[in-house]
Structure 1
Amino acid sequence: MLRPIVNLTLPLALVALLAACGKEPTSEPVIRAAMVTQPQSAIELQEAYPGEVRARFEPELAFRIAGKVSKRLVDSGQRVKKNQALAELDPDDMRLKLDAMRAQLAAAEANLQLVKTERDRYKTLLGRQLVSRSQYDNTENLYRAGLARLNQAKAEYKVASNQADYAVLRAPQDGVIAERMIDVGQVVSPGQTVLSLAADGDREVQIDLPEHMVSKLEIGQKVAVELWSQPGKRYIGYIREISPSADAQSRTYAARVAFNTDTTRVALGLSARVFILEKDQDALAIPLSALTAEGQQPYVWWLDPATSTLHKRPVRVGPYGERLVPVLEGLSADDWFVLAGVEMLHEGEKVRPVDRDNRTVELTGQEPQ
């Protein structure tokens, strides 16, 4: 009686054991990591032109008289002070001319003294009725001519004295010698440029614009300047001047870009890039890897900072660049979106945001986990 019951119980136990082994334990859903970032400035997509840092004022210096250069006291790149002597002409000719003018002045003074004495004598004789009126008038005219000759000699002597001073070229203000075009022994003419001075003070960037860009730009248009010596740092400025005529050889138009901030400490001659900014738009850009499309509508995977879930965000984009594409509508500078692997994502999916170095990103407004 007991043996059949035992035989029946064993198979039932085995069946229960096998059923228990076939059940898998339940597990939490896996939250994958997603590389996220925020929009960046689209400045790199704007038109950019190479340029050079120059001084706002660059007077071209020249002698006011002709002569042979006897001394050159400065060289290119040298700092000078106001009224400092820069170059001198051979003073021999000026000295001889000044001596001649001094002699003529002395002769005019002696002549005036002679004709004055003669006039006074004739005046006394005229009062005694010993000479005629015409004789006296003749001496009076000689006196007036002598006086005029003396005034002329004084003026010529003053001119010669000034020209002797003009033989020394002096700096009109503090600055740096930007260019030197003379050397000792060279004969120069009046007004011929011999030195170029970069005056201390405001700095600008000179660029060359192609013909097709001149009509698109205007005076006062906003630009950004990046110095090669300071990568990543940009100065805001504006177009101050555009040349009305093209260079005969390069067929480009010279333009000057002024800074909005104090740049007196920016070194002269630095290389720079000038970015032409949009007039009324502060454009953003995203990497091409973050953009995907559904039909004809491009979108990005936008990350909700409060729930760390993904949602499709339609965007309107501009012309594609090599790495970036400008976003005209759909994103703000504070938004987060997925940077790569967008084809593997789903609407409403929860992710763990990380940066390019696989570090967890703390999102503003994210609820504590």
Structure 2
Amino acid sequence: MKKIILVTLAFIASLNAQEIYTTFNIEADKSANLAFYSSGIIDKIYVDVSSSVKKGDKLVELQNDDLKASLKMAKATLDNAEVILKFAKKDYDRQVLIKDLIDEAKFDQYDLAYKKAKVATAQAKANLAYQQALLDRTVISAPFDGIIFEKSVEVGDVVSGMMLRTILKIQSKTKRKLIFEFDQKYWKSVKVGDSVRYTVNGDNDNYTGKISKLYPHANSDNRKIKAEVNADGFVVGLFGEGYILVPDSK
């Protein structure tokens, strides 16, 4: 009943509007090709084609036991450096209180030990961050909520950071954008917010939407201008046709 009402309202609106013929392709609202920029051997694959994932989910992992061990060592080094810094600061603070009563050279020794401890701690923190970055490069995580629509590796495959290779392809799960094209002669008529009535190939239903974005250039090859309409649930790659409804007052 709701669909009938929407189509009826669109038909009534079209009686008082100019109809501009348009065709479109359906694309995912978000899409990304995922690849490693680190070399190694595929150790674990956590997803497959059609897997739904959340942003941050671990998708694929290289063999990285050596890097995990290096990270643990870096953490231990930082812990040790922070302990030394803690006691060096205590010694320094005590010497500050009696600075006027002790030999200046002796005070300088405590001051130097404190400064060295701070430098060592800073270096340990930097090394820990570096080891963490190396480990992170061995894992591909989901950049956004979506669904995996292509997988091109298996466990045991070798990848090289010197030759980037797409490992997975991910797209938004249901959100779509319809990329409409219309004749450039209507560039002054069509505006963001204009209504669109359309059908999708292989689907007998009629749909309506509104233009959410106009591309700021015309294609010199086919003399067309593109516009986007937000939609939901369609299969990516399908195409269709329709009409942009432009009020006669424009």
C-alpha distance in 1 between matches for 2:41 and 2:92:
50
Question: Residue 243 of structure 1 aligns to a residue in which SS?
Answer: strand
Question: Residue 277 of structure 1 aligns to a residue in which SS?
Answer: strand
C-alpha distance in 2 between matches for 1:90 and 1:246:
48
Question: Residue 204 of structure 1 aligns to a residue in which SS?
Answer: strand
Matched, 1:276 2:243: yes
Tell me the TM-score normalized by structure 2: 0.65
Higher relative contact order (CA 8 A, sep 6+): 2
Greater share of strand: 2
Q: Rate the CA distance shift 1:73–1:222 in 2: closer, same or farther, 3 A.
A: same
What is residue 48 of structure 1 aligned with on the other side? 22
Q: Report the CA distance between 1:224 and its aligned residue.
A: 1.1
Q: What amino acid is aligned across from residue 89 of structure 1 in structure 2? A: L
Could you tell me whether the CA contact under 8 Å between 1:50 and 1:207 is conserved in 2?
yes
Cα deviation, 1:160-193, whole Å, max 9, x if unaligned, reads 346535533233554322455777422247x997
Q: Report the CA distance between 1:257 and its aligned residue.
A: 1.4
C-alpha distance in 2 between matches for 1:193 and 1:149:
40
Could you tell me whether the CA contact under 8 Å between 1:126 and 1:136 is conserved in 2?
yes
Q: Report the CA distance between 1:146 and its aligned residue.
A: 0.5
Could you tell me whether the CA contact under 8 Å between 2:36 and 2:161 is conserved in 1?
no
C-alpha distance in 2 between matches for 1:280 and 1:237:
15
Q: Rate the CA distance shift 1:128–1:174 in 2: closer, same or farther, 3 A.
A: closer
Q: Rate the CA distance shift 1:123–1:206 in 2: closer, same or farther, 3 A.
A: closer
Could you tell me whether the CA contact under 8 Å between 1:60 and 1:193 is conserved in 2?
no
RMSD (CA atoms): 4.4
Matched, 1:142 2:113: yes
C-alpha distance in 2 between matches for 1:141 and 1:74:
54
What is residue 167 of structure 1 aligned with on the other side? 138
Greater share of helix: 2
Q: What amino acid is aligned across from residue 47 of structure 1 in structure 2? A: Y
Q: What amino acid is aligned across from residue 239 of structure 1 in structure 2? A: I
Equivalent pairs, count: 228
Query: 5+ unaligned residues in a row in structure 2: which ranges?
Result: 1-13
Cα deviation, 1:330-362, whole Å, max 9, x if unaligned, reads xxxxxxxxxxxxxxxxxxxxxxxxxxxxxxxxx
What is residue 154 of structure 1 aligned with on the other side? 125
Q: What amino acid is aligned across from residue 190 of structure 2 in structure 1? A: L
Tell me the TM-score normalized by structure 1: 0.47
C-alpha distance in 2 between matches for 1:255 and 1:248:
16
Q: What amino acid is aligned across from residue 228 of structure 2 in structure 1? A: R
Query: Which moves more between the two structures, 233-242 or 207-216?
Result: 207-216
